Every structure is written in C-alpha cells, then in structure tokens.
Amino acid sequence: MHPFLLDLSEFLLDTIFPIHCLGCGEEGPLYLCAECIVSLERVRLQNCIMCHKSSLDGITHNTCATQLSPIQTLSLFAYKDNRISRAIILGKYKFVPAIYAELGHMLALFLKEKYDLSQADFIIPIPLSPQRKRWRGFNQAEIVAAQISINSNIPLSKALIRNKNTKTQKDLNKKDRLENMKGSFEVSAKANLKGKHVLLIDDVLTTGSTLLEATKALKEAGVTSVICVTLARD
Ligand SMILES: [Zn+2]
Ligand SMILES: [Zn+2]
C-alpha cells in the first residue's frame, strides 16, 4: 500500500476505534498506558522450569537439569494480574500485535536492567505453525522477541520451525501437553547454531512443555545453552 494510504488508514482506524487502556480505560495512544504498565504485577520469585519450585533467578536446579534442558527461565509479569491476561488474550484473538510490542518493550528493559545478556548469540521466538500464523497474521512471540533484539542488538533468528500442527494445549494436562508437543519443532537445515547461546522467547509460561520441547530441538542441533524468557507466567 502507498505510505500515504497506510497513514490515512491508520488515522481513520484511530479515529473510528480509539484505543482505551486495558488497565484504567483512559483513551490514549497505548493499550496499556504508562501508569498502568509500570504497575502491572511482576513475578517475584522465579521458578525452575523442570520442577516449578522456586529457584534463584530461575536457574534450573542441578538435580533437575538434563543435557537437553534450559539453564535458566525468566518471566516478567504475573499472568494472574487480570490486566496482563486480558492484554495477552485480546492481542491474540482480536489480532492486535501492538499489544505485544508494548509488553515486549517492557520485557526488553527488564532483561537489560537485571541480566547480562551479552553472552547471547541469538534471540529465537517460539514459532507458530504456518497455518496458525497465516490465520492470525502475526506470531506474538516473534513480536516480543523483536523488541528484545532491538533493545539489546542481539540478532533475531528464525531458525526454529514448527513441523506439525499441534492441538491447542489449553485443555490438556501437563503429561498430555508434553506428549502433544513431542517432535513438533526442528531447526532449519540452513542454520548453524553449533556452540551458540540462545534466548528462547514465548508469551506465556504455563507447564513449560512448549519451551522444553523447543529447547530440546535447539540443543539437539548443537546449541550450547538456552535461556527461556517469557512475558508472563501462569
Ligand atoms: Zn491505564
Ligand atoms: Zn527444579
């Protein structure tokens, strides 16, 4: 589309559908206004992704770690804050990628402030199946990952691919989720990730089965270490 038309259509959309903050309802340019976004409930104690018990900085316990597990898992927001859950659900089902950019920006600042990310070689989002990406038009994890990449100068890689259409995980228990995810990721044959350190990005951490399965695929492709990072934790 011509840039002018693009501006015009954005202007018309903003005029017809003004944005209201999901937290306080104030009209403004953002889905979460500056005041609300800083007051969102944050995760106070990070957990080990394997046993879900608390662990300093989300480091995977020695006793839980395997050759194919992530070394650390960090989440910023508490999903139980209903402003967060509403924002994440609305973004996904009403097709509003801008919400993920706003939240992703916060996640990028959090990571920069608290952790030394200079060791990371690539930022890799959890991919959607091509079918689901076509339907939604965007991958929310990719938008969050792009924000971290912009803020840290660590390159974004799309080397991880989804090779089967998994059932939606929503109604499955932890064991069935792991089973459902089995073999659903692979690393592009063109990518060389041998010896690399990767930040793996997703929107919400629930049982961790998606992140664990993706980590496994990355490590089997030669990745040295994986740190999982999510916007929110359930
Ligand atoms: Zn607000
Ligand atoms: Zn553990």
Given CATH 3.40.50, say whether it is the number of domain 43-77+116-233.
yes
> What is residue 121's predicted lDDT score, i.e. its pLDDT?
96
Q: What is the pLDDT of residue 217?
A: 96
Task: Tell me the ligand closest to 87's alpha carbon.
Answer: 1
pLDDT score recorded for residue 224: 97
| Distance from residue 45's CA to the centre of ligand 1 (Å) | 25
* Tens place of pLDDT per residue across the chain (234 aa): 555 555 655 555 555 667 889 889 999 888 899 899 999 999 999 999 999 999 999 999 999 999 999 999 999 999 999 999 999 998 888 778 899 999 999 999 999 987 788 889 999 999 998 888 888 889 999 999 999 999 999 999 999 999 876 666 667 777 777 777 888 899 998 898 999 999 999 999 999 999 999 999 999 999 999 999 999 999
Per-residue pLDDT, 12: 54
- Residue 70 has a pLDDT of 98
Single out the residue of 197, 169, 199, 204 nearest to residue 75, CA to CA: 204
DSSP alpha helix (H) spans, 30-156: 34-39, 82-93, 97-114, 130-136, 140-152
- The structure tokens listed for 217 are 């695929």
The rounded Å distance from CA 17 to ligand 1 centre is 17
- pLDDT the model gives residue 4: 55
Decide if 55 contacts 75 (C-beta within 8 A).
no
Among all chains, which residue has been given the structure tokens 């040295």?
A: 224
What one-character DSSP code corresponds to residue 56? G
Helix (H, G, I), strand (E, B) or coil at 78: strand
* CB-based neighbours (< 5 A) of ligand 2, an ion: 48, 50-51, 61, 64
Residue 86 DSSP one-character state: H
Task: Count Cβ atoms below 10 Å from residue 203 Cβ, excluding itself.
Answer: 22
**Ligand 2 center to residue 63 CA distance, Å?**
7
State the Cα–Cα distance between residues 4 and 7, nearest whole angstrom.
5
Ligand sitting nearest the alpha carbon of 48: 2
d(CA 157, CA 232) in angstroms, rounded, equals 22
Q: Which residue in 41, 49, 98, 99 sits closest to 73, CA to CA?
A: 49
Cα 71 to ligand 2 centroid, rounded to whole Å: 11
Other beta carbons within 10 Å of 42: 16
The Å distance, Cα 61 to ligand 2 centre, comes to 4
Q: Report which of 177, 176, 184 is spatially closest to residue 216, judged by C-alpha positions.
A: 184
Domain boundary assignment for the chain: 43-77+116-233
State the pLDDT at residue 149. Answer: 96
